[in-house]
Structure 1
């Protein structure tokens, strides 16, 4: 797909590409402990790539494009091919100087996970490599924290200058993230998506609420009010909280998750972000997009892996239809 095709509603994901090495164990090992797994699986992953795949499968009426970096290696070529198989535009997926990123994922008997990521070529992702024609008023740019923050900021500013909207998933929270860095990122954002741990980190850095004392609803509302953006907090089986830009003076809405048998939560957060962005780009309101996204994220917990578990539009539509009174 060429750049000229990037017109109309477009989800443009700028982020990471990884190959996931996944093993299942009875319990995630503690420091100094070794546990055995009978086998492992090699899967496609990376928060950016995951979110692009979720968006592409979710049935939005627009296009999905991806920018980032992979290594000049077999893993990188396989990752590019997997994205293209989902009809995702990879024009701006460049070759970096390092090997393709890799994630090592351990999943316990309850479906909880522990993840270590080797960034590799993701550190070579560059906003300047994205053609200016990619940005327009119907673009929804999606960002995460697995590529350099300075590059994410540069892309966000360019998207906003063209009249587009920006969705930031503050995951994972960089260990060296400074208050001024977060403030700059939020100043370019329309929607912030966080889990409860990331919400607490953002509240602490922006000095809103009492971390450890205030309920997530209170912190989400205060953060939305301080930053004049919409804050969405994902709360696992408890669904999501949506705090609009009115913040503490406006309502905080909780949307329930579906009741499912959890096999693996690895890709649930990325599923939420990608499906949300797709619906948001297609013209849904924040609440409508979040309602579709939480249903999709719930469905993703029923299968192993990240991209392998992400539902397609028909599955999401059927789940939403069953929920309606």
Structure 2
């Protein structure tokens, strides 16, 4: 079983001729809404690959008692996700307000809303076992996320933690707690470097060195996603694993990282080793870039299997 503990948002996107300056009003012809939040994105990615397989997906999160919350819950259910652990909070559903200019530059304001009402107690012990893969990000309370991770590991669950965005901590000891509660750390190049600096190990631009340090000092298998260069893992024994990606012409890379995390979680839950799981996740992330929107391009199981058979 895969359990995602994380954020649920509605993304409101307006395309503008230029990003507004302070005090300025810029007009857009329309605003489009997309389902988002890293937690929800990763749950959808995992669920689409899990359909037709032996693993089920559940999510613990929080939405408001409003139309956005209703729509987000319906979307998760339609993707086959168990939503019983999602809290209906007094705060409004989380929203991201995004403006994008003609060059692709964007400005984003996120209202966390109900996401900050999520508590570790919303996830029941009955869902935790040796067969559980727990997936976390950094868009809800780090304290509650750490509590869930610690509790899950006591039950023998595997913890996959995507440190995105980079945890808002400055103390090495606090970052160490987060890393030591993690079995599989997933970060991009910039996040790997930032985390290494927080723990007192600045490494310039060498993200593989950063991943090696994080694994050696704190224990998790560290996976760095590197865009067109694929993904790299540093295992506890020091082994380096590389998963390549096949060249594509991307339409929209939004959600590619979340696709990687969700499909990796599915692979681990189905018993695949890290290397094959990363290859599967890289392929799915590439496919997700062929359609606009974070969730719209996330592949279903049959599409991913056809793609893998052709490569």
Q: Do both proteins adopt the same fold according to a TM-score greater than 0.5, normalized to the shorter chain?
A: yes
Q: For 1:289-300, list aligned pairs within 5 A.
A: 289-300=277-288
CA distance in 1, matches of 2:286, 2:112: 28
Match among 65, 68, 83 for residue 61 of structure 2: 68
Cα distance, 1:110 vs. partner?
6.9
Select between 313-322 and 151-160 the one with higher mean Cα deviation. 313-322
Residue of structure 1 in register with 2:133 after alignment = 140
Which of 311-320 and 264-273 deviates more?
311-320
Hey, what's the Cα distance between the residues in 2 that align with 1:108 and 1:293? 30
Within the alignment, does 1:87 sit opposite 2:75 as a pair? no
User: Offset at 1:30?
Assistant: 8.0
3-state SS of the aligned residue for 1:145?
coil
Quote the RMSD (CA, aligned, Å). Answer: 2.0
Task: Quote the offset at 1:157 in angstroms.
Answer: 1.2
The partner residue of 2:189 within 179, 190, 196 is 196
Matches within 5 A, 1:251-270: 251-270=239-258
Structure 2 contact 203–209 (Cα < 8 Å) conserved: no
Per-residue CA shift, 1:56-90, capped at 9, x if unaligned?
A: 00134211000011111111111111111111111
Provide the residue aligned with 2:49 in structure 1. 58
Does residue 235 of structure 1 match 2:226? yes
TM-score (norm 2): 0.92
Quote the Cα distance in structure 2 between the aligned partners of 1:296 and 1:244: 22
Aligned length: 308
The equivalent position to 2:214 in structure 1, one of 223, 236, 256, is 223
How far has the Cα of 1:264 moved from its partner? 1.3
Alpha-carbon separation, structure 1, partners of 2:6 and 2:118: 8
The alignment's TM-score, normalised by the length of structure 1, stands at 0.89
Helix, strand or coil: the match of 2:12? Answer: strand
| SS in structure 1 at match of 2:134 | strand
In the TM superposition, what is the alpha-carbon distance from 1:109 to its structure 2 partner?
A: 5.8
In the TM superposition, what is the alpha-carbon distance from 1:151 to its structure 2 partner?
0.6
Alpha-carbon deviation of 1:112? 6.9
Conserved? CA contact 2:129–2:157, under 8 Å:
yes
Query: Which residue is 2:180 aligned to?
Result: 187
Aligned position for 2:204: 212
> Which residues in structure 2 correspond to 1:89-168 (within 5 Å)?
89-107=82-100, 114-168=107-161
Aligned partners of 1:253 and 1:34: how far apart in 2?
Answer: 49
Q: Determine the C-alpha separation between the residues in 2 that align with 1:221 and 1:122.
A: 32
Tell me how far apart the structure 2 counterparts of residues 302 and 38 of structure 1 sit (CA, whole Å): 24
Query: How far has the Cα of 1:223 moved from its partner?
Result: 1.5
Q: Which runs of 5+ in 2 are unaligned?
A: none
- Per-residue CA deviation, residues 245-271 of structure 1 (Å, 9 max, x unaligned), is 12xxx2322222221121111111111
Secondary structure in structure 1 of the residue aligned to 2:194: helix
Give CA deviations for 1:206-261 in whole Å, capped at 9, x if unaligned.
223x3325x22221112211111111111112211111112xxx232222222112
Match of 1:5 in 2: none
1:45–1:307 contact (8 Å) kept in structure 2: yes
- Post-superposition Cα deviations, 1:163-219, rounded to whole Å, max 9, x if no partner, equal 1010000011133453222211111110000011111111111223x3325x22221
**Partner Cα separation in structure 2 for residue 111 and residue 317 of structure 1:** 32
Q: CA 1:301–1:24 in 2, change beyond 3 Å: closer, same or farther?
A: farther
Output the CA distance in 2 between the equivalents of 1:200 and 1:124.
30
Query: Aligned pair 1:18/2:9, yes or no?
Result: yes
